[in-house]
């Protein structure tokens, strides 16, 4: 009880309360604007949070992180365009409700499900905090190295169909982290005699380039769309009553969100997929899913809003971020010499509880705000893309320059913005680069510390936690390999059956497939040529 009172005392400070209010409402606004998203907002705000107290800066970022998914449901439901990437599944059942004249019901249900998922997650983790305080000290240098390696591996494996490129990008991020001064013997690495590389490549410069500046390029090169909004009538409290009629779906979906959030590299998409699949398989009306099912909407929104609080567990307990947003938050800790990990739970447990209580209060503030302000809020969907692009580009360069008053940083940010733009146009992930930079630094430091006490390779896993983590790594690699081989076998069998089919229909389908692949190749080459022309026009 004393711990909770101490955490409440931290949150009662006027600057913390103001940061929580600004972050929660600002996150809703950011989420409601298609094409922006929390990663862009957090990247832009990072330089400003370095001058704040750790609790104030983290409260702002947590507010944006936790509330953006609420706002992202608004365009997903009203115009079939997710405000944030994790609201894509919301369009499956949210927009069909709008199409049949029930936008108010869909929005209200999404808000209520999001609130339940967020509150459920925070309560679970507040109760789980004492256990974390006991488990965290069991992690030494070798355990944290293995946990970071597992997190990086899970990030790569999670990009199904793009695991190879995700692994290459993660390795590129690790390489970027090695540039500059070596941390033990203080020798120069990969600087090639260039003074501006002596201090290394700043993580915030890369974050702003890959997420904010690249998104500004996308918005500036895309055409504005004409949007027609549905007019809302009546109160917004209907969803609270409707949610109470589906307690099983809501509880299980929130549980999936908590479990998936605590695993580095997994996050909202896996939680949503599992909860949506469970809801459909156990529903009395599975045929309604994708056509405006209230259970489907509850499953999607509850799961994705249960993840943010759970994602803070590996960050706070081990100092290992599981995604790009928590990796950005980790930099706030480092700037203020607050080291996440076992020591944080032992010495600053009130700080940890204060962060979880901030997430709890955040959900209450956002729900109240949305229930009364949705009719005015939906107008932000109409903001032109190019105006947003100019604003994001300007704020990004201001933030980069404010880091070290360096024009070189601005040039590097623009270069990474170009890289991020190409990755977005080719539908390739940028997150592995950031996690490679963050986790690569952790792995290097912890491996050096662990090797001083290790004489043989088996000594590295001679402790229970280290052995468990090593076993999980091997299991993940084996399962991923088996899945690749199974997918290839199924594909070959399908192609062989089509080729050897004795019917004219089979041969016709095989020829059509070959023709489709050739046309697809032409489309890809045309898209690449168009991309090169756009890049030429930009620069």
Q: Are residues 439 and 515 in the same domain?
A: no
- As given in the structure block, the two tokens for residue 508 are 């016709």
Evaluate if residue 418 carries a pLDDT over 90: yes
The stretch 185-206 carries a mean pLDDT of 81
Indicate the SS3 state at residue 397.
helix
Confidence of residue 538 (pLDDT cuts 50, 70, 90): very low
User: What is the per-residue pLDDT for 298?
Assistant: 87
Residue 181 lies in a domain: yes
8 with 127, same domain? yes
Give yes or no: residues 54 and 197 share one domain: yes
Confidence category of residue 509, pLDDT binned at 50, 70, 90: very low
CB atoms within 10 A of CB 426: 12
Range of the domain at 533: 501-538
- Determine the pLDDT at residue 416: 92
For residues 420 and 517, membership in a common domain is answered with no
Q: Judge whether 200 and 189 are in contact, CB under 8 Å.
A: no
Phi and psi at residue 180, to the nearest 5°: 115, -145
Number of domains in the chain: 2
- Same-domain check for residues 29 and 116: yes
Task: Specify the higher pLDDT residue, 151 or 269.
Answer: 151
- 137 conformational bin, left if phi > 0, alpha if psi -120 to 50, beta if neither: alpha
Asked if the model's pLDDT at residue 524 lies above 70, the reply is no
Cβ within 8 Å of residue 304, ≥6 positions away: 69, 86, 87, 89, 114, 117, 257, 268, 271, 272
The pair phi, psi for residue 181, each rounded to 5°, is -85, 125
- Identify whether residues 405 and 534 lie together within a single domain: no
SS3 190: coil
What b-and-e string marks burial along 245-261, b requiring 16 or more CB atoms within 10 Å of the CB?
ebeebbebbbbbbbbbb
| Candidate ranges 26-30, 91-95, 290-294; pick with highest mean pLDDT | 26-30
Residue 83: inside a domain: yes
Q: Which single residue is written with the structure tokens 């903001």? A: 383
How do residues 77-90 score in pLDDT, each as one tens digit? 887 777 777 777 78
Does 483 fall in a domain? Answer: no
**What are the two backbone dihedrals, phi and then psi, of residue 188, each rounded to the nearest 5 degrees?**
-80, 135
The structure tokens listed for 470 are 């090593």
d(CA 30, CA 52): 22
Number of neighbours of residue 41 by Cβ within 10 angstroms: 27
CA distance 53 to 61: 13
Listed range (7-21, 112-126, 131-145) with the worst mean pLDDT: 131-145
Regarding whether 391 and 311 lie in a shared domain, the answer is yes
pLDDT over 60 at 128, yes or no: yes
User: Is 332 a domain residue?
Assistant: yes
402 and 531 together in one domain: no
Residue 38: in which H helix or E strand, if any?
helix 37-49
Residues 10 and 97 in one domain: yes
Same domain, 24 and 82: yes
Banded model confidence at residue 500, pLDDT cuts 50, 70, 90 = low
Structure tokens at 181: 């001064």
- Calculate the alpha carbon distances from 185 to 106, 189, 424 in Å: 59, 11, 38
- Compute the average pLDDT of residues 189-198: 80
Render 143-176 in DSSP notation, one character per residue: HHHHHHHHHHHHHHHHSTT-HHHHHHHHHHHHHH
Measured between alpha carbons, how far is residue 161 from residues 164, 321, 483 in Å?
8, 23, 11
Q: Give me the numbers of helices (H) and strands (E) for the chain, helices first please.
A: 22, 2
The span from the CA of 330 to the CA of 316, in Å, is 9
What distance in Å separates the CA atoms of residue 379 and residue 392, rounded to the nearest whole number? 19
């Amino acid at each position: 009880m004393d711990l909770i009172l101490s955490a409440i005392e931290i949150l009662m400070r006027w600057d913390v309360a103001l940061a929580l209010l600004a972050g929660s409402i600002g996150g809703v606004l950011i989420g409601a604007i298609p094409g922006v998203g929390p990663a862009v907002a957090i990247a832009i705000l990072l330089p400003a949070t370095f001058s704040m107290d750790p609790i104030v800066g983290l409260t702002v970022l947590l507010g944006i992180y936790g509330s953006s998914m609420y706002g992202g449901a608004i365009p997903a439901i009203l115009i079939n365009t997710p405000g944030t990437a994790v609201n894509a599944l919301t369009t499956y059942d949210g927009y069909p409700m709008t199409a049949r004249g029930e936008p108010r019901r869909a929005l209200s249900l999404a808000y209520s499900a999001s609130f339940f998922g967020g509150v459920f997650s925070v309560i679970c983790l507040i109760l789980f905090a004492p256990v974390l305080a006991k488990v965290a000290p069991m992690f030494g240098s070798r355990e944290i190295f293995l946990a970071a390696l597992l997190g990086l591996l899970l990030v790569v494996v999670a990009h199904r169909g793009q695991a190879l490129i995700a692994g290459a990008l993660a390795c590129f991020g690790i390489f970027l982290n090695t540039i500059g001064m070596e941390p033990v013997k203080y020798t120069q690495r990969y600087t090639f005699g260039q003074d501006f590389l002596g201090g290394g490549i700043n993580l915030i410069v890369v974050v702003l380039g890959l997420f904010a500046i690249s998104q500004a390029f996308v918005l500036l090169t895309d055409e504005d769309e004409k949007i027609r909004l549905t007019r809302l009538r009546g109160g917004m409290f209907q969803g609270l009553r409707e949610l109470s009629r589906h307690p099983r779906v809501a509880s299980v979906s929130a549980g999936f969100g908590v479990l998936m959030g605590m695993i580095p590299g997994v996050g909202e998409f896996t939680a949503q997929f599992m909860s949506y699949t469970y809801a459909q398989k156990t529903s009395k009306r599975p045929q309604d899913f994708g056509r405006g099912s209230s259970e489907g909407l509850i499953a999607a929104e509850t799961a994705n809003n249960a993840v943010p609080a759970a994602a803070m567990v590996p960050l706070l307990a081990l100092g290992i971020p599981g995604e790009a947003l928590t990796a950005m938050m980790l930099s706030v800790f480092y700037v203020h010499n607050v080291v996440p990990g076992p020591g944080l739970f032992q010495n600053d447990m009130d700080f940890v509880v204060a962060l979880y209580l901030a997430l709890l209060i955040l959900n209450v503030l956002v729900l109240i705000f949305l229930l009364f302000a949705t009719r005015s809020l939906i107008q932000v969907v109409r903001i032109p893309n190019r105006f947003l692009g100019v604003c994001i580009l300007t704020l990004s360069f201001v933030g980069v320059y404010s880091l070290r008053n360096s024009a070189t940083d601005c040039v590097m940010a623009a270069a990474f913005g170009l890289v991020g733009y190409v990755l977005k146009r080719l539908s390739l992930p940028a997150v592995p680069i950031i996690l490679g930079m963050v986790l690569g630094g952790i792995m290097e430091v912890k491996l050096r510390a662990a090797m001083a006490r290790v004489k043989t390779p088996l000594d590295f896993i001679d402790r229970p936690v280290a052995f468990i983590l090593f076993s999980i790594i091997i299991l993940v690699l084996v399962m991923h390999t088996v899945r690749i081989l199974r997918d290839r076998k199924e594909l070959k069998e399908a192609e062989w059956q089509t080729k050897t089919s004795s019917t004219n229909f089979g041969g016709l389908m095989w020829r059509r497939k070959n023709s489709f692949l050739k046309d697809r190749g032409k489309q890809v080459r045309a898209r690449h040529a168009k991309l090169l022309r756009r890049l030429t026009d930009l620069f």
